[in-house]
Amino acid sequence: MTTTKEMAGAGVRLSPRPLIELGVSFWSAKALLTAVEIGLFTELARGPATELELRDRMNLHERSAGDFLDALVALDVLDRSDGRYRNSPAADAYLDESKETYLGGWMRQASRHLFGAWGGLTESLRTGKPHIGWDSADYFQRLYEDQEERRRFIAAMDAMTNHLALELAEGLDWSGRTDFVDVGGARGNLSAYLARAHPHLRGTVVDLPELGDLFAEHMRTMGTEDRIAFVTADFFADELPEADVLIFGHILHDWDDDQRRELIARAYPAVRPGGCVIIYDRMIDDDRREKAVSLLGCLNLLLVTPGGSEYTVARCRSYAADAGFSRTTTLPLFDGLETAVIGWKEG
């Protein structure tokens, strides 16, 4: 075994610090998720506050409140000056619940569910099966049984689609298109933002019957009830409605490779000539070494789905090509965190 002394003698000055910090990086994640969970950033968006005020308002014990707040300063999500804490610009933009740009819905879901599931990683790596409680093929139906859980899950999806919809609205030329279908479009959040950005567009959301009521309620809130329709369907069994554009957002990664290919093959006949299919997910770089968040995302999907996984951009292009789409283009989303592959059908 190489000793520390031998390493020093050989002139090797290899710092162990990055490994040590990586080994406890879940501390950072959990501190952030807890701050979101208790609404700290929403509170601080109303105005800066002292530790004493935050202890009182957030119901924090004196033992570690200061450590918790200062750790968040060190993590660059809070600032501290003159004994008062305030949100960093990014935390203020994305973690204040009163703003439309809020991403915390998704983080709350991560904190409630995913954090626990990751405790089962060793076992899942050995068995190839999800963590206990996540091993059901009818995962969505089970999730939706509980009304509150259903709402929370959908809010988590919306946290992402608020942003993605605006990027898709700008990233594609919609002028020659009349309609789109959002397959697995949840309560229609992406569709509503897209329709609001391009008033000539009409949309259809395809999803499970459990989301019909939430869809109707959300369309009234968004003022898009006369432009977006809801179709109850099982996207593996039922014919998909026809449109110029079919969208599969955060759908393919929930399923295995054969099922992903099948879904895009099922989309092809529904896309009108000259139209396209848009597939977005947190896709992996083709060399499978750069996007740690996507590769770790595969492990996350191992833990919570029977067969899901992130997949490379090249793999996604092959789903589109095999289905019959004549060419593909890509669009980076969310500052490169996600990728949209667009498969074009011959006109």
- Residue 113 catalytic? no
CB of 279 to ligand SAM, least distance (A): 11
Q: Is the CB of 77 or the CB of 271 nearer to ligand SAM? A: 271
CB of 85 to ligand SAM, least distance (A): 32
CB of 185 to ligand SAM, least distance (A): 5
State the catalytic residue, choosing from 113, 131, 218, 253. Answer: 253
Contacting positions for ligand SAM (CB under 6 A): 140, 157, 160-161, 184-186, 190, 206-208, 211, 233-236, 249-251, 254
3-state per-residue secondary structure call for the chain? CCCHHHHHHCCCCCCCHHHHHHHCHHHHHHHHHHHHHCCHHHHHHCCCEEHHHHHHHHCCCCCCHHHHHHHHHHCCCEEEECCEEEECHHHHHHCCCCCCCCCHHHHHHHHHHHHHHHHHHHHHHHHCCCCCCCCCCCHHHHHHCCHHHHHHHHHHHHHHHHHHHHHHHHHCCCCCCCEEEEECCCCCHHHHHHHHHCCCCEEEEEECHHHHHHHHHHHHHHCCCCCEEEEECCCCCCCCCCEEEEEEECCHHHCCHHHHHHHHHHHHHHEEEEEEEEEEECCECCCCCCCHHHHHHHHHHHHHCCCCCCCEHHHHHHHHHHHCCCEEEEEEEHHHCEEEEEEECCC
Q: Is the CB of 77 or the CB of 190 nearer to ligand SAM? A: 190
CB of 186 to ligand SAM, least distance (A): 4
Q: Is the CB of 60 or the CB of 197 nearer to ligand SAM? A: 197
Catalytic residue positions? 253
